[in-house]
Amino acid sequence: MHDDELVSLRRDLHRKPEPAWREFYTTARIVEALESLEADLDLYVGPEAINGDHRLALPEDSEIDAWYEQARKYDVDPDVLASLEGGYTGAVAVLEKGESPTVGLRVDIDGLPRIEADGEDHEPAAEGFRSEHEAMHACGHDSHATVGIGVIDAIADSDFQGTLKVFFQPAEEVIGGGKAMAKSDHLADVDYLLAMHVGLDHPTGEIVAGIDGFLAVSHLEATFYGEPAHAGARPEEGRNANQALATAVQNLYAIPRHSDGETRVNAGVIEGGSAANIIAEEARLVAEVRGETTELMEYMREKGTRVLRSAAEMHDCDLEVELGAEAPSATSDAELADVVAEVASATDGVERVLERDKLGGSEDATFLMREVQQHGGLACYVGVGTDHPGGHHTSTFDVDEASLRHGVDVLTGTIERVSLERP
């Protein structure tokens, strides 16, 4: 694909962003783009691409349905769309060009529930491809999907010998889709897995060969159930869900640090009670814990659960804890990162190659990386620099479209190289 084709595809996806598990138009548009390539691909779509039983952090049905109805208004293949109904989004494209090796490339495709900026200095607005939805590609997944398609096209036309699988993964933003894709059968024979992300504060022309420092993460949603009472007339008859929650929040942040490595905790969302004069009957807390390793995350989760339980007990409340979405930690294999670094150094437009950088946050690509590593394969998460005016997840985020080509070239080059070096 030419640069202008990449740009055009990316802009089309940018115009119609869809949040996690609602990537109906997006998946259908990706399938359409893949089918238009001159390549002999096997396509697995929706329930054939993911293991539907392992979808995490699913939104309400009504939410899913509303976005599905919206997608039906667009000019996309109705059969493809129908197969995605109910939130079975995503796709896997397979290109067989030889026995071995099997190389995987994972790109994510979802947007964020945020309104895009509309100022004249925001290029998508100025150039007419601002989001038409109540959502926004504020993290660059539109360019990830585009690079994925660009790589297949390039590999189809190359000397690569082996099998290439491109994973168009849904629901990364809620760390909800990685597990479903990892638990599909498509990862079983993958020898090398590449994943990619644009930006991350690296400018256009910079490549990070192997990103590390993925924190394992787990969400906890706790609801405290107390007993309402009139706060003036009968304070002693209440069982105060707000007090339970406050005690929990104070003690969650105070879970001991761990000498094995970094841990995190956040009581991100709190909500409780109905009126100033009523002892709160119900209070809700959405929290998350993280760890530099999966074990450290589990340490935090176990301690956090104890805090929630004891805080409920202290104020005589009942407690429901739902463990929500979750992702393990993972590491980029040095052996594979070295190949990326070599290729990148020789790629047009790449001015600087960093061997390593730390993500600091979490990513559910780790589910796929570990799946591959556990059966003996190698995995590497590659950073493709791009100048981005606003920070990730902000309303003024945008990518420098020059980096689409860098992404395609570095990944294609790496895929070709590993097929050559394989005995």
- Figure out which of the listed residues 290, 301, 370, 406 binds a second copy, where binding follows CB under 8 A: 290
- Figure out which of the listed residues 124, 177, 210, 238 binds a second copy, where binding follows CB under 8 A: 238
CB 398 within 8 A of CB 388: yes
- The smaller minimum CB distance to a second copy, of residues 349 and 360, is found at 360
Q: Does 286 bind a second copy (CB under 8 A)?
A: yes
| Rounded-to-integer distance, Cα 144 and Cα 377, Å | 23
**Which DSSP symbol is given to 260?**
T
Question: By CB neighbour count within 10 A (0-12 exposed, 13-18 middle, 19+ buried), where does 369 fall?
Answer: buried
DSSP SS3 for 391? coil
| Rounded-to-integer distance, Cα 75 and Cα 33, Å | 13
| Residues between 94 and 153 that touch a second copy (CB under 8 A) | none
| Rounded-to-integer distance, Cα 22 and Cα 7, Å | 23
Binding mask 351-380 for a second copy (x = CB under 8 A): --------xxxx------------------
Q: Does 60 bind a second copy (CB under 8 A)?
A: no
- The smaller minimum CB distance to a second copy, of residues 175 and 339, is found at 175
Query: Which helix or strand (DSSP H or E) is residue 335 part of?
Result: helix 334-345
- Figure out which of the listed residues 82, 126, 188, 254 binds a second copy, where binding follows CB under 8 A: 254
**Min CB(100)–a second copy separation in Å:** 37
**Min CB(260)–a second copy separation in Å:** 8
| 141 among annotated binding-site residues | yes
| Rounded-to-integer distance, Cα 197 and Cα 360, Å | 14
| Rounded-to-integer distance, Cα 175 and Cα 415, Å | 26
DSSP 209-254: EEEE-PPEEEEEEEEEE-B--BTTT-GGG-B-HHHHHHHHHHHHTT
- Figure out which of the listed residues 163, 240, 294, 347 binds a second copy, where binding follows CB under 8 A: 240
**Min CB(282)–a second copy separation in Å:** 11
- Figure out which of the listed residues 209, 267, 378, 404 binds a second copy, where binding follows CB under 8 A: 267
- Figure out which of the listed residues 79, 118, 316, 322 binds a second copy, where binding follows CB under 8 A: 316
Q: Does 421 bind a second copy (CB under 8 A)?
A: no
Q: Which residue has the tokens 């409920």?
A: 312
Q: Does 217 bind a second copy (CB under 8 A)?
A: yes
| Rounded-to-integer distance, Cα 410 and Cα 412, Å | 6
- Give me the residues that bind a second copy (CB under 8 A), please: 215, 217, 219, 230-236, 238, 240, 242-243, 245-247, 249-251, 253-254, 256-260, 262-280, 283, 286-288, 290, 299, 306-307, 309-311, 313-314, 316, 324, 359-362
